[in-house]
């Protein structure tokens, strides 16, 4: 078989048509379009990304620098993580969850997204599906699709607050369902699964063999206790349970790209091999910074949690002054205010208006699924004065 290379005018399309179908179909719309306009306008307070404004503290940076200075610039011999970090994560998770989580249950990854991708690669076959609780961070839908699975959204009910209907969730699963995916606390809603809901999910997994993938990246950014209810607090080592986590949010390390996956010890060897073939491990100096974060970072976690709570309280106070704003019950965790505007079924135009008139950047809800199209997401993990200024602008522009 031979192919004739097309003329240059059509060569871009020729290359595109040769790409795997799942890649051709990937969603490419994101907040970047609004960000382009923000650069043109200038003086925009950008609250659309899920990132705080705190520079990673010196004690974490210094630990990474020391590792560089000690010459830790070689391959990490254990693909699942540097021994010191695996040990620190085992101690940390055992402490916060109140049950033993040994070293064999943890795989370190270059970012929470890699942990998520490893979890999906471990389970999802072409033609199978993953039921995920929505509204949801768009990377979840797209990662399932990228691997070749069917992303099957299941929406929380909204009647002034976000609620999970477990019976309907379970009915959405079928013989091709490999996993149920949830984020708790949720991005973007802040909805947080209760211990009873976690137990029901675990019981369902034990009856059916369907895996539970619990994204607990915001687990420490929880306002009703030291840590949000976790599947790890009740699951046994042999259960079909995976927990995705990251250093990004609770330790102000978004740019470091380091996370971890907690899993049954029985799949540790397979995850080690997958890590070798997908990313060949996480850099030793980055892991050294993460060790410092875990072992010395509890005051930092509390500081970030209080910063978010202050920002959220301020947002709820000021947004309530805007006519037509629909504020759900204040979330129990996360770093976002997620609200709607009466009469607006698609928040894209509202985000564009707020950007133009108030110079505040918010994320439109359709990015998180159809059930969230009317909502706007505001990141409140910022210095208080910046949040106050953004809200003052919005109140002035929208009254």
Tens digits of residue pLDDT in 24-43:
888 776 777 777 888 888 89
CATH number for the domain whose boundaries are 19-56+298-398: 3.90.1150.10
Distance CA 350, CA 230 (A): 35
Q: Could you tell me which CATH number the domain at 74-296 has? A: 3.40.640.10
Average pLDDT of the residues in 98-112: 96
Q: Is the pLDDT of residue 292 over 70?
A: yes
* pLDDT for res 3: 54
User: 113 in helix, strand or coil?
Assistant: helix
- pLDDT score of 81: 84
Mean pLDDT of the chain: 94
Residue-level pLDDT at 2: 53
Give mean pLDDT, residues 295-306.
Answer: 98
What is the rounded CA–CA span in Å between residue 290 and residue 284? 10
The secondary structure of 238-285 as a DSSP string is: TSSEEEEEESTTTTT-GGG--EEEE--GGGHHHHHHHHHHHT----HH
In this predicted model, what pLDDT tens digit does every residue of 349-367 receive, in sequence order? 999 999 999 999 999 999 9
Euclidean distance between CA atoms 11 and 41, whole angstroms: 36
What is the average pLDDT across 354-383? Answer: 96
Q: What percent of the chain has pLDDT over 90?
A: 87
The pLDDT tens digits for 324-338 are 999 999 999 999 999
Average of per-residue pLDDT across 263-283? 94
Which has the minimum average pLDDT: 13-22, 272-281, 310-319, 337-346?
13-22
For residue 207, pLDDT over 70 is answered with: yes
Predicted local distance difference test score (pLDDT) of residue 39: 86
Domain-wise residue ranges, the chain: 19-56+298-398, 74-296
Strand-pair partners of 244? 215, 261
| pLDDT band (50, 70, 90) for residue 398 | very high
Q: Tell me, what's the pLDDT at 5?
A: 54
Q: What is the mean pLDDT of residues 275-296?
A: 96
């Amino acid at each position: 078989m031979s192919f004739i290379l097309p003329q240059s005018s059509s060569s871009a399309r020729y290359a595109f048509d040769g790409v795997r179908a799942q890649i051709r179909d990937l969603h490419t719309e994101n907040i970047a379009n609004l960000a382009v306009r923000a650069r043109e306008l200038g003086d925009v307070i950008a609250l659309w990304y899920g990132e705080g404004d705190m520079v990673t503290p010196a004690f974490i940076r210094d630990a990474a620098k020391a590792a560089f200075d000690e010459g830790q610039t070689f391959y990490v011999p254990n693909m699942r993580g540097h021994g010191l970090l695996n040990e620190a994560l085992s101690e940390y998770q055992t402490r916060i969850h109140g049950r033993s989580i040994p070293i064999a249950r943890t795989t370190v990854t270059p970012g929470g997204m890699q942990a998520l991708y490893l979890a999906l690669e471990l389970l999802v076959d072409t033609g199978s599906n993953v039921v995920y609780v929505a509204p949801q961070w768009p990377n979840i839908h797209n990662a399932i699709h990228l691997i070749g699975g069917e992303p099957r959204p299941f929406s929380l009910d909204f009647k002034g607050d976000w609620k999970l209907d477990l019976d309907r969730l379970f009915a959405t699963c079928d013989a091709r369902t490999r996993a149920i995916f949830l984020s708790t606390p949720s991005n973007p809603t802040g909805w947080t699964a209760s211990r009873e809901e976690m137990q029901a999910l675990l019981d369902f997994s034990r009856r059916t063999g369907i895996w539970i993938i619990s994204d607990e990246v915001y687990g420490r950014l929880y306002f009703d206790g030291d840590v949000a209810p976790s599947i790890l607090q009740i699951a046994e080592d042999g259960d079909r349970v995976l927990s995705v986590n990251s250093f990004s949010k609770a330790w102000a390390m978004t740019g470091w790209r380091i996370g971890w996956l907690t899993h049954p010890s029985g799949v540790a060897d397979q995850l080690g091999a997958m890590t070798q073939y997908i990313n060949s491990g996480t850099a030793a100096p980055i892991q050294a910074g993460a060790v410092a974060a875990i072992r010395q970072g509890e005051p930092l976690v509390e500081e970030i949690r209080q910063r978010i709570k202050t920002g959220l309280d301020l947002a709820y106070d000021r947004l309530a002054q805007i006519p037509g704003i629909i504020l759900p019950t204040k979330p129990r965790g996360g770093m976002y205010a997620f609200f709607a505007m009466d009469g607006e079924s698609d928040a894209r135009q509202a985000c564009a208006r707020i950007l133009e008139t108030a110079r505040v950047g918010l994320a439109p809800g359709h990015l998180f699924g159809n059930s969230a199209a009317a909502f706007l997401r505001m990141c409140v993990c910022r210095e208080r004065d910046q949040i106050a200024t953004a809200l003052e602008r919005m109140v002035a522009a929208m009254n």
